[in-house]
Every structure is written in C-alpha cells, then in structure tokens.
Homo-oligomer: A and B are copies of this chain.
Amino acid sequence: MFVRELSREECIGLVSSNHIGRLACARNDQPYVVPIQYAYSTNRLYGFSMPGRKVDWMRTNPRVCVEVDELAGRESWKSAVIYGRYRELADTREGHDEHMHAWSLLEKRTNWWEPGGLKPVEEGVAAASHHLFFVIDIDEMTGRAAGEDRVDLASH
C-alpha cells in the first residue's frame, strides 16, 4: 500500500461529498477540536453553531483547521485538511444574501448529530435554538489517500 497526495480536484471532491468534519480552533496556543456539520460551496464551508467555546475562540482568533475524511478500510482511506478563516454571518441587510445562501445549503441536512448545534439543556430550560451561521473561507486545502499502487503519486 502506498500513500499519495490528493490533487486539489480530489480534495474538493472529498470535501464536497461529505458533510461532517472536525473543526479545530486555538486560543493562546491551546487547540480545541469538535465535530461540525458543514456545506461546501466554492472555496468556503458554511456551518452553524450555538454560542459556546468554539465560537468564542474563533471570534478571538479566526484561524481554523478543518479535517474531512473517509476511513473505509485498510486499503481505502482519504483525508483532507483545510486551513481557513472563520467569519460570522450576521443577518443584516449587507449579509442577507450570503446568510440565505448558507441556510439554503444547510437546511438540506438536519442538525441531529451536531454537538455544537444543541447544547446540553438545564432543568426547566427549553432547548431553544439560537444558532448562528458562519463561513470558513478556505486558504489552503491538501489531502492524502491510501491506495494499492503509485498512480498519481505526487512529490511533496
């Protein structure tokens, strides 16, 4: 088995065909990583979250890293790593179009799984949803895949 670099097109294929990734942010050089649900659109990821630690940290330091993978088996896995910047989508007049675009992409999925999408409720408090939308603008995207031969092997 060999491991090879993914082309940019292959990275886009991997990221756009998946909707769950792991988002890492950092504050004072302490990293933090959680699963997120996202929707890929040209050169960006759209996501949503409840207010909380990751949003607080990304507001302070917008530099993030998102990892997306398909770990199917011994001879078949792919992983892409994205460096990007967090940007919050305010539902203002200026941001309305992108806010609606994010929503239209994300509403196709439910938020059943996302730990950031529903915070633990406290007794007597309804689990109201006060989520916000955000964008990860992609600066760099690379990936690797395992395969049986060296086809498409790129130097690095």
Contact = CB atoms under 8 A, between A and B. Distances in A.
Given A71-B113, A112-B74, A63 B30 contact: yes
A32 B65 contact: yes
* A74, A79, A156: most-surrounded residue (chain B CB, <10 A): A79
Pick the 7 closest A-B CB pairs, nearest first.
A24-B24, A74-B112, A24-B31, A24-B33, A26-B26, A26-B31, A22-B22
A84 to B, nearest CB: 11
Interface in A116-143: 118-123, 127
Interface residues of A, number: 53
Contacts of A122: 153, 155-156
A77 B24 contact: no
Interface in A31-56: 31-35
Contact of A30 (B34, B35, B83, B146): B83
